[in-house]
Chain A
Amino acid sequence: MGQHLPMTQPPPASPQPATTRILTVEDDERIRTAVRLALEEEGWEVSETASGEEALESFGTRGADVVLIDIMLPGIDGFEVCRSIRRLGDVPIVMVTARSDSHDVVAGLEAGADDYLRKPFDPKELSARIRALLRRSRPDETRPTRIEIGGLEILAEEGVVRHEGTDLHLTRTEFRLLVELATAEGRVLSREDLLEKVWGYDYFGDGRLVDVHVRRLRTKVEPDPANPRYVVTVRGMGYKLQA
């Protein structure tokens, strides 16, 4: 359905000193192995785990750059794994859902996932999602480094947001969303604009990614999230940040 991103050829050997480490949680051994092989083709290091407990232990001891979580797990389910990892850090999380049930998607995003994929997925699509999450994790030099809007102070370089002097803790996706809205200087950004800028999707990306992340962002930056003052919805158009 045209969700493919322009492919950049994977580097045969990573130029970075530390290879990107991906933690996967999947109880089906065949899928786990096949996904590992596909991710290793991209030059990434993969840690496989078969259960939520194992995944949390692995993440606690060795950390990861990206976490790939299957929702349907024996024991602790994917949502809980997602929430636990989210409490430990702002690592990008991709959730894999088997059900076509749309509640799963929203529940996963609300549990803290940054993006999601439906099974069965094209491994190229998976790599593209991971690359998009990694890419936006790195700072962008062309942007102003310090933005002030109302009581909000955004330091793009440092990844710091303060509200009236108090540090706010945002995930990287939330931070990136806020920066995109802030650099638009009061213009309205449509969901599609934000999907492209923050997640690297084309027009047909899922608008709920934006909606759920905006909701989460509001709980952190708004004094009263039910009546947003900064991140406002413009009906029929999208979102904008206002002072």
Chain B
Amino acid sequence: MPEPTTDPGRGADHPPSLGLGTRIAVLFAVGGLLVSLGIAGATMALTRRQLVEAREQTATVVAVSNATRLSNQLTPESTIEDLPTVVDSLTKVEGGQRIIRLGDDWLPAPELDHDDLPPDLVARLDARLGGRLVTEVRGAPHVVVGIPLSAFDADYYAVVDLAGITHTLDNLQYVLLGAGAATTVLAALLGSWASRRTLRPLRRVRGAAEAIAGGRLDTRLGPQSDPDLDRLSDSFNEMARALEARIHRDARFASDVSHELRSPLTTLMAGVGVLEARRDELSDRSQTALDLLVQDLERFNRLVNELLEISGYDAGVADLDLTEVNVAQFLSATVAGMDGIRLDLPRDGHGLVIEADKRRLARVMANLLDNARRYGGGATTVSLECGEELVIAVEDDGPGVPDTERTAIFDRFSRGSAGGRRGADGGTGLGLSLVVEDLRLHGGRAAVEDRPDGRPGARFTLRLPRPTPHDTTEDDGR
């Protein structure tokens, strides 16, 4: 069976229903069941009719011939005692018995008496008419043929048991039921196979849609084997193209805006730089104004740069300038000159070299340290662990990050519950989202958790894949 296509995450608004594949299989099974039931029913009815008719006819023919012979052998003087000898010479039918009335006397059959005869038929014969009836005799179906012997005051009844036919029909019924069940199962299997075949292109569509949702915007469907499906894949590809174009246009717009801001920013920074160099010539008021200008220019500059970076990620054009980075040296250089930060390096980690974009990694660390300074009272420990992956952690002594904000804190322009505290040195609100993107480019991920020592404070972790060990240095000449 194909796996259910309903998304369990969205089960809240839609009760879980059977998947299309399952439905097709069930439909096939029900169809198979109905068809086999129909065929079985028709077969049963036809067979029953034919068997019963044949038996009736045989019974009638034999009864008529027997009645004629009986009539020929009787004389008006014959009494009921003479009958058994006459009757013995009559033709026998399997399962057949006969009851004969002569005057007021009845010659019963071995197992039946004249009380067992259907009264309707007896009444018919009393009126000197022949008749035939299929009816229950002693709880079992029988054919009863009644023939009046017109020359005498006598009737000939033949009672033929239909139990043999019922038995045959019962057997047939079992065979048909078995065939029906087999047909149903076969139909279900066929349905399941057909649905899988039918759904295979749909699964490809699903895969492509998931790829696009995952950011691989250039995903397209290949040609299908069926004109109907070709239309689907054409429409899908058209949608994907439009989506890609639109996303790129939006990202390019953000990128263009940021680019356009770079030229005036360059002028502003150079101009403000000149003013700063001549700060002493300015009045106190002008100096205050200049300080404001310098601070906000710095923030503006950061914001534009970060927006440019983000538009790069969104357009999928962000690439890594990979160089060899000695992680221990990198972390030492990162915290160099910063007071109050303990650097915790593993003893064997000093030769660890990864391929990374040093500029991006440096920005990641700067953002984490900046975040710790802003919201956690400053980082206390920067540590490195080399297990199955590299884990770089930045801890602070601040209030920590509540569970509910641990994902949202990495969103763009998110400041969490600490947002209200934003002062003149507030960040751009993009720092942690850049951390996530930069880590993703490196095949790693960022998270925030509790400090492992149980003390209050946040622990931001960066997990990077461990480098594959390379066939090493021909010479370590240090």
Chain A positions within 8 Å of B, measured between CB atoms, are 1-2, 28, 30-31, 33-35, 37-38, 41, 98-100, 102, 105, 119-124, 186-188, 190-192, 202-204, 206-208, 211, 234-237, 240
Contact A31 B473 (CB under 8 A): no
B326 contacts the other chain (Cβ, under 8 Å)? yes
Contact B323 A208 (CB under 8 A): yes
Q: A122-B269, A188-B478, A235-B472 are in contact. Are A204 and B274 (CB under 8 A)?
A: no
Which residue on B lies nearest to A187, using beta carbons? Answer: B477
Contact A204 B323 (CB under 8 A): no
Q: A37-B274, A100-B312 are in contact. Are A234 and B333 (CB under 8 A)?
A: no
What would be 7 A-B contacts, judged by CB atoms less than 8 Å apart? A28-B267, A31-B263, A98-B259, A187-B478, A202-B333, A234-B476, A235-B470
Q: A100-B309, A120-B301, A187-B478 are in contact. Are A204 and B362 (CB under 8 A)?
A: yes
Contact B266 A119 (CB under 8 A): yes
Per the bound structure, the CA–CA distance linking A237 and B274 in Å amounts to 41
Per the bound structure, the CA–CA distance linking A211 and B358 in Å amounts to 14
Choice from A34, A120, A236 contacting B473 with Cβ under 8 Å? A236
Contact A34 B362 (CB under 8 A): no
B319 contacts the other chain (Cβ, under 8 Å)? yes
Q: Nearest-CB distance from A40 to chain B (Å)?
A: 8
Contact B323 A191 (CB under 8 A): yes
B53 contacts the other chain (Cβ, under 8 Å)? no
Chain B interface main SS type: helix
Per the bound structure, the CA–CA distance linking A122 and B265 in Å amounts to 10
B271 contacts the other chain (Cβ, under 8 Å)? yes
Contact B362 A123 (CB under 8 A): no
Contact B477 A203 (CB under 8 A): no
Contact A121 B472 (CB under 8 A): no
Number of interface residues of B (CB under 8 A): 44
Most A CB contacts (10 A, CB to CB) among B268, B273, B301, B309 go to B273
Which residues on B sit within 8 Å (CB–CB) of A206? 321, 358-359
Q: A100-B309, A191-B323, A208-B321 are in contact. Are A119 and B263 (CB under 8 A)?
A: yes
Which residues on A sit within 8 Å (CB–CB) of B473? 234-237
Per the bound structure, the CA–CA distance linking A186 and B262 in Å amounts to 44
Per the bound structure, the CA–CA distance linking A221 and B265 in Å amounts to 42
Which residues 436-478 in B have Cβ within 8 Å of A in the complex? 470, 472-478
Q: A37-B274, A100-B309 are in contact. Are A236 and B267 (CB under 8 A)?
A: no
Which residues on B sit within 8 Å (CB–CB) of A31? 263, 266-267, 270
Contact B472 A236 (CB under 8 A): yes
Q: A191-B324, A236-B473 are in contact. Are A121 and B478 (CB under 8 A)?
A: no
Q: A100-B312, A122-B273, A124-B273 are in contact. Are A34 and B267 (CB under 8 A)?
A: yes
19 new A-B pairs (CB below 8 Å) besides A2-B366, A120-B269, A236-B472? Answer: A31-B263, A31-B266, A33-B267, A34-B267, A34-B271, A35-B270, A37-B271, A98-B263, A100-B308, A102-B321, A119-B263, A120-B304, A186-B477, A190-B329, A204-B362, A211-B323, A234-B475, A236-B326, A237-B473
